[in-house]
Structure 1
Amino acid sequence: MERYVIYKRVSTADQGRSGLGLEAQARDLALYLETYSPEPFEVIAEYVDVQSGKDDDRPELTKAIDHAKRDKAVLLVAKLDRLSRKVSFISQLMEDKRLDFRVASMPSADKFQLHIYAALAEQERDFISQRTKAALKQAKLRGQKLGGLRNKTMKRNEALKAQADSRAHKLEGIVKPLREQGATLRDIAASLNAAGISTPRGGDWQAVQVKRLLERLQKK
């Protein structure tokens, strides 16, 4: 039986709380297990870090690697950059003969191909960084005021936040009592839709949007 230790990573605490990023990774991992994994298989553990891929010192990743080696399981990630954004770190994992890992989004790739992909991705990130710096430098030479653009962006973001807070306050009297009575996020979404209350973008409510609304109310 093939056994797996799953590792997921998101870069920010907001993504970790909301599930953004984690849901996509779970989808890709499930697709790999259902389509590409030898059968039968078993997922024996799952670890999640809320931390940048630039940091090699990630406690949950260390636990996942140790667990996979100890139980002779496969370390499974959704994408290669969930392990690390550094070629050097990925190379170290590849050289560890006690560790076997797979990347769900590249189910047929061997270690050599994964190494090339990691190197190319790192080069692309470096190029984008240099290109951004060069563009900012050229804009500065032309006399463009970069700070003004940032200030406008900040003001726009503040206005959007104020609108979101105001809308959340208006819905507080509906969603909080329902939640306190034990209604699920899906139940609350259905109630809002049935009442003809649309989302800020004019669409129907989903459970994840209700979750964000409740989180916003908790921060007040």
Structure 2
Amino acid sequence: MEETKYVAYLRVSTQKQGYSGLGLEAQKEIIHNYLHDTIPISEYVEVESGRKSDRPKLKEALSQCRKEGATLIVAKLDRLARSVSFLSSLLESDVDIVFCDFPQANKMVLHIISAISQYEAELTAARTKAALQAKKARGFKLGNPEHLLDKHEKAIQNSIKTCKARADNNPNNRRAIALLRTLVKEEHTYQEMAEILNREGFVSSQGCSFTKSTVYKLIKRYNLLEDYG
């Protein structure tokens, strides 16, 4: 039988791609773990906000799927769309789609999930609007332009610090670093280090297998090469 070909579609928002829990690297790792030894023939990255429906990279990915007879693969369902109408029209297309977090989902299940997601998003927006109106009615001034930019930048910096602290304190990272110190001293390659970590049962901070990319990031983050430079 001919091996299934895949086209990967990854989506991030402009504000969150640098520090979100499901950034580009995490999506790539989820797809890599799902496909094992199979490598997507192409990879399309969409950078945009979550509510827009004009996704040029998705259209390009679907077009290549049709030309190559390939399947579109997405890390998680919510990376693709939360709009019922958009997802419904997509699922009615002639391209097969697989979601790594829900590979057994059929079209009916996906319609239900997207409907619930959209309802939750609309409910959250309505609650936020009502809360802001109530606050304004009590005399609070909303959206002071003199402080919004500073607060936004501080929020980003605090989020980055929190993510770094969480990574530093992660027990999986701590165990891996202990072994990596020895492997670096023994001058193993990144690929060899990843294979050793996986063989010994180590997992990354997200519970995934190690790749040479994740090994490189840990070594760079903790300056392990400088210890033996």
The TM-score normalised by the length of structure 1 is 0.63
Distance 1:79 1:132, change over 3 A: same
Q: Cα 1:126–1:9, aligned 2, differ >3 Å: closer, same or farther?
A: same
Matched, 1:29 2:25: no
Q: 2:45 matched to 1:48?
A: yes
Partner of 2:17: 15
Q: CA RMSD in A?
A: 3.5
Shift of 1:30: 2.2
5 Å-filtered alignment, 1:1-220, equals 1-12=3-14, 15=17, 21-34=23-36, 41-96=38-93, 98-147=94-143, 154-155=149-150, 186-187=219-220, 189-190=222-223, 194=227
Gaps of 5+ in 1: 35-39, 163-183, 195-220
Distance 2:140 2:65 in 1: 53
Match for residue 199 of structure 1?
Answer: none
1:47·1:60 contact (CA, 8 Å) conserved in 2?
A: yes
SS of the residue corresponding to residue 110 of structure 2 reads: helix
Mark the CA change 1:107 to 1:130 in structure 2 (over 3 Å): closer, same or farther. Answer: same
Contact 1:2 1:42 (C-alpha < 8 Å) held by counterparts: no
Tell me, what secondary structure is at the counterpart of 1:5?
strand
Alignment partners' CA distance in 1, 2:90 and 2:96: 9
Instruction: Please say if residues 13 and 50 of structure 1, whose CA atoms lie closer than 8 Å, have aligned partners that are also in contact.
Output: no
Structure 2-normalised TM-score?
A: 0.61
Runs of 4+ in 1 over 6 A off after TM superposition: 16-20, 159-162
Please report how far the alpha carbon of residue 13 of structure 1 lies from its aligned counterpart in structure 2 after TM superposition.
6.7
Change (3 A) 1:124 1:187: closer
Amino acid at match of 2:44: Y
Secondary structure (helix, strand or coil) at the match of 1:48 reads strand
| Distance in 2 (alpha carbons) for counterparts of 1:22 and 1:137 | 36
Q: Distance in 1 between matches of 2:11 and 2:72?
A: 13
Moved more, 124-133 or 106-115: 106-115
In 1, distance between residues paired with 2:56 and 2:43?
Answer: 13
Q: Which amino acid aligns with 1:25?
A: Q
- Residues 19 and 123 of structure 1, relative CA distance in 2, 3 Å threshold: closer
Equivalent pairs counted in the alignment come to 168
Change (3 A) 1:24 1:146: same
Q: Deviations over 1:122-161 (max 9, x none)?
A: 010000000000111111222233346x866654556789
Match of 2:195 in 1: none
Letter in 2 for 1:75: L
- Equivalent position amino acid for 2:77 in 1: L
Structure 1 22/86 Cα, relative in aligned 2: closer, same or farther at 3 Å?
A: same
Structure 1 residues 151 and 87: alpha-carbon distance in aligned structure 2, compared to 1, 3 A threshold: same
1:155-212 residue CA offsets vs partner (Å, 9 max, x unmatched): 45567899xxxxxxxxxxxxxxxxxxxxx87458516975xxxxxxxxxxxxxxxxxx
* Contact preservation (8 Å) 1:3, 1:73: yes
| Counterpart contact for 2:44–2:57, Cα < 8 Å | yes
Give 1:106 deviation, angstroms: 1.2
